[in-house]
Structure 1
Amino acid sequence: MKATPKILAAGGALAAVLVGGLALYGTGSNLGNLAASGPCAEAAPVAARLAPLARGDVAAFDASAPPKPAPAVAFKGPDGAPTDLASLRGKLLLVNLWATWCAPCKAEMPALDRLQAELGGDSFQVVAINVETRNLDKPPAWFKANGIAHLTYYGDPEGKVLPVIQSAVGSTGLPTTMLIDAKGCTLGVMKGPAEWSSEDGKRLIRAALAKSS
């Protein structure tokens, strides 16, 4: 049976659509280029440098996703005044969500404190945000009682930070930790605790700061 002109025309149109689709979406590398063309494109090489360093004490650190802007969240500073992640931009941030009812959170807090003491400064800061909404005097008292002296106390008594960040990174528990570059792009996520002041942890942070390990 001979193909009619209508069938030929339809076939030609379908072929054009398929070719156009392949041109736009075709290969994995093209998808990668599209993913790396957004506001966090410059962070992609840094995240790629971090991925092989996720081992040992920070083996659960995940730098596999293309970097994207960190969630815009607001919380309280040590004096109770409002602040947010945007106000801390300009340095590498290790943003950690924790609570006193979370045993793994408390177990890793001394390591975060040591990390801040050793590497914290103009280029890097650990931002530990307490997510409790009741008994608000308990978390800062726990800081003091356990010798957490180098971390600035941040809290979210309104309970807004936890659901936003957990939704953004796909986490359902605590602690949840994000590594965010100086321009506000997420380089990677840790779901669960880690020995952040270990050599593995410091090597990861130094690599993100583009320092030699």
Structure 2
Amino acid sequence: MMAEGPSANRPPHIALEATLLFRFSVSLTRFSLPLAVALMVGACDRESTDAAQPGESASAASTDEKAGAISGKIDRSYAGEMMPDAQVTDPAGAKLTLAETRGQPVLMNLWATWCAPCVVEMPILDRIAAENSGRLRVLTISEDMDGQDKVKAFFAEKGLKNLPQWLDPKNDLGFAFGGGAGLPVTVLYDAQGKEVWRVMGAYDWESEEARTLIAEATAA
């Protein structure tokens, strides 16, 4: 076996092999570098796309949530049913049996301080109570557990002056309307205590439909 020496002393076939190997390496480098760059760019694009997807999904989810925020619809399937025979209390300990409210239309609203749609509705219901004083009784009843202090603080914070602070400490009404499936629950009763319609969930009480429905109730 012949030892390698300076290129000038190598046999021709070894020099040729070395030349071909060098040219192949250069060609391979020229081919691999663009390919590597392309692969790297492609990977970055994929990472950018992947990184954007959670944000896009969150944005879409946020839009869907906003679109679904007003979920309640007028339901007349229970029309004619009598108001539940239930008793509520206020923070001072006074009691009210719902049957005592007969004589004028009643808009009963079951709510809670932890219910986000309820919190949004309360100031609107406060205005409705003021605008229809003497024609429509708005009866707001809290389903908060241990709600005595919570309700008083909430009314003070929101400046609610036209709504009553009734409490349903045993959640009797919550279970009567769907087993506590969700709040808010709003029911309109006529002057005889018969149900006209109900809304399960958040509702746009400032909409034209709401104004028309309340006007019909107070005109009857």
Which band: TM-score by shorter chain? 0.5 to 0.7
Task: Give the alignment's Cα RMSD to 1 decimal.
Answer: 2.1
**1:63 aligned to which of 54, 57, 76:** 76
Contact 2:141 2:168 in 1 (8 A): yes
- Find the aligned partners of 1:142 and 1:107 in 2 and give their Cα distance: 12
Answering whether residue 214 of structure 2 is matched by residue 205 of structure 1, we say yes
* Aligned equivalent of 1:147: 159
Unaligned segments of structure 1, at least 5 residues:
1-56
Contact 1:114 1:150 in 2 (8 A): yes
**2:107 aligned to which of 94, 98, 115:** 94
Mapping of residues 118-137 of structure 1, within 5 Å: 118-121=131-134, 123-134=135-146, 136-137=148-149
* Aligned equivalent of 1:192: 201
The Cα of 1:97 is off from its aligned counterpart by: 0.3
The Cα of 1:119 is off from its aligned counterpart by: 1.0
**SS where residue 119 of structure 2 aligns?**
helix
Question: What is the TM-score with the length of structure 1 in the denominator?
Answer: 0.64
* Aligned equivalent of 2:174: 162
Residues 77 and 138 of structure 1, relative CA distance in 2, 3 Å threshold: closer
Whichever residue aligns with residue 126 of structure 2, its letter is D
Bigger radius of gyration, 1 or 2?
2
- Report how many aligned residue pairs link the two structures: 151
Unaligned segments of structure 2, at least 5 residues:
1-69
**SS where residue 75 of structure 1 aligns?**
strand
The Cα of 1:58 is off from its aligned counterpart by: 9.7
Residues 139 and 77 of structure 1, relative CA distance in 2, 3 Å threshold: closer
* Aligned equivalent of 1:50: none
**1:111 aligned to which of 113, 121, 124:** 124
Contact 1:58 1:200 in 2 (8 A): no
- Find the aligned partners of 2:72 and 2:151 in 1 and give their Cα distance: 28
Runs of 4+ more than 6 Å apart:
none
The Cα of 1:202 is off from its aligned counterpart by: 2.1
Contact 2:73 2:199 in 1 (8 A): yes
Whichever residue aligns with residue 96 of structure 1, its letter is N
